[in-house]
Amino acid sequence: MLKYLIEVGQKRENEAIRRFLLNEVSREFFESLGLPFPSCWCILNINKKDLSDFVGDVDIIAGRLELNNSGKIKKWPPPTDYLIGVEVKCAYVNPQANQISLNNIKSRHFSHRKVSKLRKQVQILLEMGFDKVALLDIIANPPANGINGQAWLTAAIISTKSIEVFSPVLQERLPPDSPAGHWVWSIGSVSGGDETERGASLLSPLKEAKINPLLGDLKIQSHRQRMEGKLKTILAELRPKHLPAIFHPKKNIESNGKYKMQDLHLL
């Protein structure tokens, strides 16, 4: 049985990404970054070392798909000529709290050290050579109760309120001159089913993403070329079954050098 995001624990961020990508609001997010949705492919939580010399994970990598007249994928592996990289953070409202306040929002990543680390993570995505980069903040809220449509209305109110309360932290996420985009998605659940089944959410753009200004640098171009080569090898081993084509690693690189991935829609 699936849980509410506030109950997931250490894997909350990964599950939040999954629920975001399976939600219709993700269309607006990807299209703002220049990718038609659902005509795109995504790989989640891939180790940067498998693409570059950098360390850590890339939460979301996405690129475009070419479709034929019947809406089927024209060729696979897909093009890698336009790539986006996304860093994701997931905070949550304390389910025991009596009100939504900044102190009751946990995993805020608001300390000076954590903000510096977050900015470095976003900067690394730019240095890897992605065409556009974005930061996605997700806020998980406790389930709402109510009769008939009242529960959904309450969930929507809670989603809006948690963004308002979290706003001072969000404003400090990225430096003003960063070319990275910034979005926040507050997901309000409704009692009786997790967020993939019922709920009301709010996706809000905070900062528009710009084309990566580092792409003209020869060193960055080298990083990009290497990343594209690695991605083509990984994508060639995958077989998409849905649109968008979304994959999540089951494990890291196996001993035979091939990626073992699951279709996100089947998880």
**In the chain, which ranges are E strands?**
40-47, 57-64, 83-93, 105-106, 132-140, 181-189, 199-207, 245-249, 261-263
Contacts of 42 (CB under 8 A, 6+ apart): 21, 60, 61, 62, 244, 245, 246, 247, 264
Low-confidence ranges of the chain (pLDDT < 50): 1, 252-257, 266-267
Q: Using an 8 Å Cβ cutoff, are 235 and 256 in contact?
A: no
Q: Using an 8 Å Cβ cutoff, are 70 and 50 in contact?
A: no
The reported pLDDT for the residue numbered 71 is 85
In the block, which residue shows the tokens 């900062």?
207
- What does DSSP say about strands 181-189 and 199-207: parallel, antiparallel, or unpaired? antiparallel
The reported pLDDT for the residue numbered 261 is 63
In the block, which residue shows the tokens 């109510």?
146
Q: Is 152 exposed, middle or buried (0-12, 13-18, 19+ CB in 10 A)?
A: middle
The reported pLDDT for the residue numbered 254 is 46
How is 96-117 classified by DSSP, letter by letter?
T-SS--GGGEE----SHHHHHH
Helix (H, G, I), strand (E, B) or coil at 33: coil
Contacts of 118 (CB under 8 A, 6+ apart): 87, 89, 109, 135, 173
How is 57-89 classified by DSSP, letter by letter?
EEEEEEEE--B-TTSSB-SSSPP-SSEEEEEEE
Q: Using an 8 Å Cβ cutoff, are 87 and 128 in contact?
A: no
pLDDT in tens, 230-263: 999 999 988 888 888 999 876 544 444 455 666 6
The reported pLDDT for the residue numbered 197 is 76
The reported pLDDT for the residue numbered 263 is 65
Q: Is 99 exposed, middle or buried (0-12, 13-18, 19+ CB in 10 A)?
A: exposed
